[in-house]
């Protein structure tokens, strides 16, 4: 049965090839030449688009580094201890210490603040207004950093900011008291 099925498949493949040759002609048709030319143009346009996006992304990376560094220095409790945030060509993040050397053993809290700074920089560079949602933003950071993040994000912004803290990160009564004018609603589960 398997040999018979295999032979049938070969015969059908051969018949399909013959029909395609008859349809197109042995040297191709005008339609095929036209389609080939259109595919060549489409491939060329795709290549230009990919190159343009790459150039744009690498030029934007420099601006994102500056904005992320500014935000990071506002949020950290040790701005003098760091020189800047750098991003590799794939936007991988590294924090440099005051001597311009990569921080060798970054704490989870430092990386959380750096990630939040990067998210803020990317959001401001996008020129697209969209809500920002943070799930447990204070998980790995101390109270000073939490306060800095709240002051930075819960300022008068054109975009909606939603924070979903776990228990112990923020006290709802303290947040409502200090930021009542900026809050639309708070819930506690």
What are 25-75's pLDDT values in tens digits? 555 667 777 777 888 999 999 999 999 988 998 889 999 999 999 999 988
pLDDT of residue 24: 64
pLDDT of residue 34: 77
Q: Is pLDDT above 70 for 131?
A: yes
Cα separation, 149 vs 20, in Å, equals 65
pLDDT band of residue 163 (cuts 50, 70, 90) is: confident
**Which of 98-102, 111-115, 181-185 comes out lowest in average pLDDT?**
181-185
Phi then psi dihedrals of residue 84, to 5 deg? -175, 170
Rounded to the nearest 5 percent, the helix, strand and coil shares of the chain are 60, 10, 30
Alpha helices per DSSP H over 76-142 = 108-126
Q: pLDDT averaged over the chain?
A: 83
The predicted model scores a pTM of: 0.65
pLDDT of residue 62: 92
pLDDT of residue 156: 64
Note the pLDDT tens digit of each residue in 144-161.
Answer: 887 787 777 777 667 777
Burial class (CB in 10 A: 0-12, 13-18, 19+), 120: buried
Cα separation, 174 vs 94, in Å, equals 34
**Angle, CA of 26, 27 and 32, to the nearest 5°:** 105
Q: Is pLDDT above 90 for 143?
A: no
Q: Which residues pair with 93 in a beta bridge?
A: 87
Note the pLDDT tens digit of each residue in 101-114.
Answer: 999 988 888 888 89
């Amino acid at each position: 049965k398997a040999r018979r099925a295999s032979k049938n498949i070969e015969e059908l493949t051969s018949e399909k090839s013959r029909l395609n040759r008859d349809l197109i002609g042995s040297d191709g048709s005008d339609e095929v030449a036209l389609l080939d030319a259109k595919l060549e143009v489409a491939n060329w346009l795709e290549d230009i688009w990919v190159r343009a996006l790459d150039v744009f992304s690498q030029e934007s990376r420099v601006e994102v580094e500056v904005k992320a560094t500014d935000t990071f220095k506002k949020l950290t409790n040790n701005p003098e201890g760091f020189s800047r945030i750098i991003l590799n060509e794939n936007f991988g993040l590294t924090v440099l210490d005051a001597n311009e050397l990569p921080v060798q053993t970054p704490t989870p809290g430092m990386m959380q603040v750096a990630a939040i700074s990067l998210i803020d920089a990317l959001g401001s560079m996008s020129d697209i207004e969209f809500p920002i949602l943070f799930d447990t933003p204070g998980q790995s950071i101390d109270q000073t950093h939490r306060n800095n993040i709240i002051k930075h994000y819960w300022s008068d912004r054109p975009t909606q900011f939603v924070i979903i803290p776990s228990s112990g990160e923020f006290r709802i009564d303290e947040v409502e008291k200090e930021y009542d004018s900026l809050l639309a609603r708070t819930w506690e589960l």
